[in-house]
Structure 1
């Protein structure tokens, strides 16, 4: 289990990719790519546009408020426990297994926000990882070697135990 120390929380406030004010602006960048999504609202918005992500990670909340609708995905559902401010081995395993055998919907008991880090590490080169940036829009990260290195660096800010 990885826990994010308070002194490193600011490192996660800036977008880990390109920030778009809304999902429509990034749609052309998704064409021909595997799509991985972290967050209820981003997942729901993609599905509304007729795009089914290969893997989606949700927790039933947006900005600590319950989401009234779960995205209607015909993907196999997998559960994972992941408390706020942490990345558990259970979440990492769920993401790795989902990426290896999509489509999957990972429903997190706890908080999914930091799941973008193991998602970028697990996702194949050339794929797209999306997540919501609260109050600002949607972040798109195209997975390449640099993205994987940055995700691994961010993971090293966590303490284990």
Structure 2
């Protein structure tokens, strides 16, 4: 979304989670205070961004291009306690555990460099979509799935859900 002035209308009454410094700062400028914001204090890995968390800050370490399980656990705790997360390393992929930890009906916002803001309505199907992405990752995917209450030995979708999922996300 290039014109973010519509965000206050699109997000009216929704609980908001943001990932990224610029996205969080812009939401605050628009009067939107996220329940949880995940940031690293800089944009494009060099320019510093000043943010003040209203309810405290948890700290996490997450290497670029990865989702560290410990960082995912910190994100989950932050969502449950309405706190923010300052990341040492890179926060981008922590949008996935943020989405999986959030309640259906909430909204997740994250920045897409040189494109704008991505708005994801959190629901059963967006969670399943991101779980399918997680299954493609290297590392201990099973432990990650268990952390977010998904049994790695069970199919994620039922037959009816699978048909609807295919309609919503045909590229997977």
Does TM-score exceed 0.5, indicating one fold? Answer: yes
1:78 aligns with 2:58: yes
Question: What is the distance in 1 between the residues matched to 2:124 and 2:138?
Answer: 24
Partner in structure 2 of residue 7 of structure 1: none
Partner in structure 2 of residue 48 of structure 1: 29
Cα deviation, 1:14-59, whole Å, max 9, x if unaligned, reads: xxxxxx1032123212111110000000101111122210000001
1:57 aligns with 2:38: yes
Structure 2 counterpart SS, 1:47:
helix
After superposing on structure 2, the runs of 4+ consecutive aligned residues of structure 1 that deviate more than 4 Å are none
User: How far did residue 160 of structure 1 move?
Assistant: 0.7
Q: Give unmatched runs, 5+ long, in structure 1.
A: 1-19
TM-score (norm 1): 0.82
Given that residues 118 and 151 in structure 1 are in contact (C-alpha distance below 8 angstroms), is that contact kept between their aligned partners in structure 2? no
Structure 1 counterpart SS, 2:77:
helix
Query: Which structure has the higher relative contact order (CA within 8 Å, separation 6+)?
Result: 1
The alignment of Structure 1 onto Structure 2 pairs a total of residues equal to 140
Question: What is the distance in 1 between the residues matched to 2:138 and 2:109?
Answer: 25
Q: Among residues 28, 33, 38, which one is paired with 2:14 in the alignment?
A: 33
Question: What is the distance in 2 between the residues matched to 1:66 and 1:160?
Answer: 31
Question: What is the distance in 1 between the residues matched to 2:30 and 2:44?
Answer: 22
Given that residues 37 and 53 in structure 1 are in contact (C-alpha distance below 8 angstroms), is that contact kept between their aligned partners in structure 2? yes
**Which is higher, the Rg of structure 1 or of structure 2?**
2
User: How far did residue 61 of structure 1 move?
Assistant: 2.0
Two-structure CA RMSD over aligned residues (Å): 1.2
Structure 2 counterpart SS, 1:73:
coil
Q: Among residues 130, 134, 140, which one is paired with 2:113 in the alignment?
A: 134
Which structure has the highest strand share of the two? 1
TM-score (norm 2): 0.77
